[in-house]
Amino acid sequence: MRKFILLILILGFYTQLAYSQIKDTISNYDEICFCNIGLIHPMGILRLDNNKELIFALKNKRTLHELEKLGIEYSESQIKLLQLSGLIEKKDSFYQTIIPIFSDKYTKQLRKKSKQIAENIIPIFKKDYEKFLSILNLKGLQRNSYSLFFAFVLDGLVWDIMENNGEISNSNITKENPFWNGTFWILKPKRNFSCGTNSLTSDNFSINVNWSDNSRISISSYSMLREFLNDYKENGKITKIETFKEFRDNNLFDKNGKIQIPVITKNDSDIVYLESKKIAETVVEYLSTKVDYTSILIDYPNLSKGQKTIILYHEIMWDILDIMEDNKLLQRPIAFKAPMKAKKKDLKDLVFIVKK
């Protein structure tokens, strides 16, 4: 009997030790959400209380009693919020995390595949990309080439085309998904460098900001940026004193309020748009016809083809950036390349407006 009790104690000790080790590595994971936000961002939910610990602890289904044995604190309201927000589900008396969490080994396998696909795609669109660059140079927009290629083409038009083709589902907020809607996943290791796009829309105008955690300059106020966009939409330039004061050091406009950032019109009269669309269509064509999604993320059978496309393409587009930069086809803006040297005026390289 003593041996049996001792064995239980030892097993309990190692169970808690194993979880404490997992807890220590949570910070090494990256959270990625391709989604629209309703009541709250899923990352915001995970930052409440110890919700992130619960998500990791429930990667393998467990009862609440098993959580208690692991020494993990929780409340009924926490569990309910995680359920209502679509982060965990309950079957019988067991709870399990719904969103994918990829281990280091699994992420490396995924990135090996995504890099191979990126290497195959780049030569196909290279000529169109070179024409895209030459047009930007002629328009004096060469400093914006990185952000336009990434945020407008790879992280913009590609998604738009895939959604229009029905290859990925729209992620509109609904009664069934009031918190957020889309695809959310967690993986490690974090990439040494990655970037994303923040967009604000007003009628048929949008203002887009290429951002990265590596950068030390960013939009000081997104509420004021919306005022900036509305002012431009209504007057064709910046007229409001408050907007002048907020962004005068960022060189987004001149002393007369004339816009100094790219403005792209999404129709065939805009040559930048036409060349951008060619590249995006090439990427989508490859993803649609050359990728075998049955061999990707096979350990996650609950993921739809659209969700697999979203997760895989996020890795592909960052691989495209890395490969093109290594091959001297692309150069990061100073805000990303040398963040300590970047000045407020360098924000201009990262911002552009799109008209539909």
Task: Kindly report, residue by residue over 196-231, the tens digit of the pLDDT.
Answer: 999 999 999 999 999 999 999 999 999 999 999 999
Q: How does pLDDT run across 26-41, given as a tens digit for each residue?
A: 888 999 999 999 999 9
Order of strands across the sheet that contains 351-355: 196-202, 205-211, 351-355, 263-265
Q: Is the pTM of this model over 0.75?
A: yes
- Name 207's bridge partners: 200, 353
Residue range 343-351: average pLDDT? Answer: 97
The DSSP call for residue 322 is H
Q: How far apart are CA 317 and CA 312, in angstroms?
A: 9
Span 316-325, average pLDDT: 98
- Which class for 13: exposed (0-12), middle (13-18), buried (19 or more C-beta within 10 A)? exposed
Q: What is the spatial distance between Cα 237 and Cα 240, in angstroms, rounded to a whole number?
A: 9
What is residue 28's predicted lDDT score, i.e. its pLDDT? Answer: 85
d(CA 316, CA 190): 15
Segment 240-277, tens digit of pLDDT:
999 999 999 999 999 999 999 999 999 999 999 999 99
Average pLDDT over residues 307-334: 98
The pLDDT value recorded for residue 3 is 43
Q: If DSSP states are collapsed to H, E and C, what string results for 85-154?
A: CCCEEEECCEEEECCCEECHHHHHHHHHHHHHHHHHHHHHHHHHHHHHHHHHHHCCCHHHHHHHHHHHHH
Percent with pLDDT over 90 in the chain? 91
Average pLDDT over residues 316-332: 98
Assess whether pLDDT exceeds 50 at residue 187. yes
Mean predicted lDDT score pLDDT of the chain: 93
Q: Are 308 and 322 in contact (CB under 8 A)?
A: no
Task: State the DSSP string of 199-246.
Answer: EEEETTEEEEEEE-TT-S---S-HHHHHHHHHHHHHHSS---HHHHHH
Residue 27, pLDDT score: 80
Q: Judge whether 191 and 102 are in contact, CB under 8 Å.
A: no
pLDDT in tens, 272-306: 999 999 999 999 999 999 999 999 999 999 999 99
Which positions ≥6 away from 15 have C-beta within 8 Å?
69, 70
Report pLDDT for 186: 97
For 270-294, letters b (16+ CB in 10 Å) and e give: bebbebbbbbbebbbebbeeebebe
93 vs 66: CA distance, rounded Å: 11
